[in-house]
Structure 1
Amino acid sequence: MRGMDEPPVTLRARAAEDLDALYSLAADLDSWEERGPLGPAPLSRAEWEARQEAQAADGNVRFVIDVDGLAVGTIGLFDSDELARYAEIGIALVPEARGRGFGSAAIARVVEFGFVRRNLRRIHLQAISSNAAALRAYEKAGFVVEGRLREHAWVRGRYEDIVLMGLLRSEWEAARV
């Protein structure tokens, strides 16, 4: 149940009507570096659809971030370890959804899903150091900085640090009391 001040965010499976918005997000070169380790490059619809097919069977958990029936982004847990009980979190929002609290709400929901439904012990992430909005959203969800990979990413003509953050289930549970 969400609070009165919390945005109306739902996490759900991808549907056919989401594909145009999700492809547009995946192909957005302006935010490419914030969403993954691969260098920026044009992404055709056919290439994107092939990636979607491959991802369907990889065991990762992916949700569409839904606001009032519209897909505004994706969030998921990936590269999980069943023995050590951890996974990495990743999120991407369409430009018009950024800065409105949707990302923070989605992060809180997927963290709860990971700890309560997937029995994870730890969730971690990597973020580009200049992405202040993302770092604030992760800190708001309880993630703490665990380290930094100095000048690890090439972003728009310069090297940037990657900030490593993590959240333990015990920390998350303590904060909920």
Structure 2
Amino acid sequence: MRLRPVSEEDLDIFRRFRTEPGLIGLDWTGFKDAREPARQFAVDGFLGPDGGRLMVEDDQLTAGYVAWSRRDFGNPATTGCWEIGIALLPDWRGRGLGWRAQAVLCDYLFTHTPVQRIQAGTHPENIAEQKSLVKAGFRLDGVIRACEFRAGRWRDGHLYSRLRDDPAPEHGSPVP
């Protein structure tokens, strides 16, 4: 498993996640502009100062992507953190790829940025992602009540975090 920058050939995957109901699982929030990924790619190649995306590859095949974006608590110069997420194509789920990709992404962000905290949210019913986050070195911070409007109603979420000084899991993948 490795992470690599997004290429133009990857844009179709982002279009699919925006236009195919159910492809992204519980995170489906309705149809989105299929041209937006190409516009964003043209601006910064999905590697901007406030976030980015890297492709997840296994055996030289694209399995999905990981993403990060800046979140601030108080003074952004001293208390900002990254929030990460992952989207794998259905054929790649349940193979242990997700936790390794998230662990490698954390290692990458801790190596190349000064943040102290990386966080990730998930749905209470997404037990597989909760286990994946724990395996990737995250700890449950708690339940965030009514944080997301999905499928016609407000829903709770689970927030996990990993701090710079927390033990990193052994994942056997190179850190870019």
CA RMSD of aligned residues (A): 2.5
User: Which of 31, 41, 44 is equivalent to 1:42?
Assistant: 31
State the shift of 1:152 in Å.
Answer: 3.0
What are structure 2's unaligned runs of at least 5 residues?
Answer: 171-176
Q: Residues 54, 147 of structure 1: CA spacing in aligned structure 2 closer, same or farther, 3 A cutoff?
A: farther
**Aligned residue for 2:2?**
10
**Aligned residue for 1:21?**
13
Q: Which runs of 4+ in 1 moved over 6 A?
A: none
User: Which of 19, 22, 33 is equivalent to 1:30?
Assistant: 22
- Residue 171 of structure 1 aligns to a residue in which SS? coil
- Cα distance in 1 between the residues matched to 2:156 and 2:145: 4
Aligned positions of 1:61-140 closer than 5 A: 61-80=52-71, 81-84=76-79, 86-140=81-135
- Residue 78 of structure 2 aligns to a residue in which SS? coil
State the shift of 1:53 in Å.
Answer: 3.9
Aligned positions of 1:50-65 closer than 5 A: 50-53=39-42, 56=46, 58-59=48-49, 60-65=51-56
State the shift of 1:66 in Å.
Answer: 1.1
% identical equivalent positions: 26
Q: Residues 54, 133 of structure 1: CA spacing in aligned structure 2 closer, same or farther, 3 A cutoff?
A: farther
State the shift of 1:140 in Å.
Answer: 0.8
User: Which of 146, 162, 170 is equivalent to 2:141?
Assistant: 146
Q: Residues 134, 94 of structure 1: CA spacing in aligned structure 2 closer, same or farther, 3 A cutoff?
A: same
TM-score relative to the length of structure 1? 0.78
Q: Which moved more, 1:42-51 or 1:99-108?
A: 42-51
What are structure 1's unaligned runs of at least 5 residues?
Answer: 1-8
Q: One-letter code of the match for 2:38? A: E
TM-score relative to the length of structure 2? 0.78
**Aligned residue for 2:173?**
none
Q: Which moved more, 1:50-59 or 1:79-88?
A: 50-59
State the shift of 1:32 in Å.
Answer: 4.9
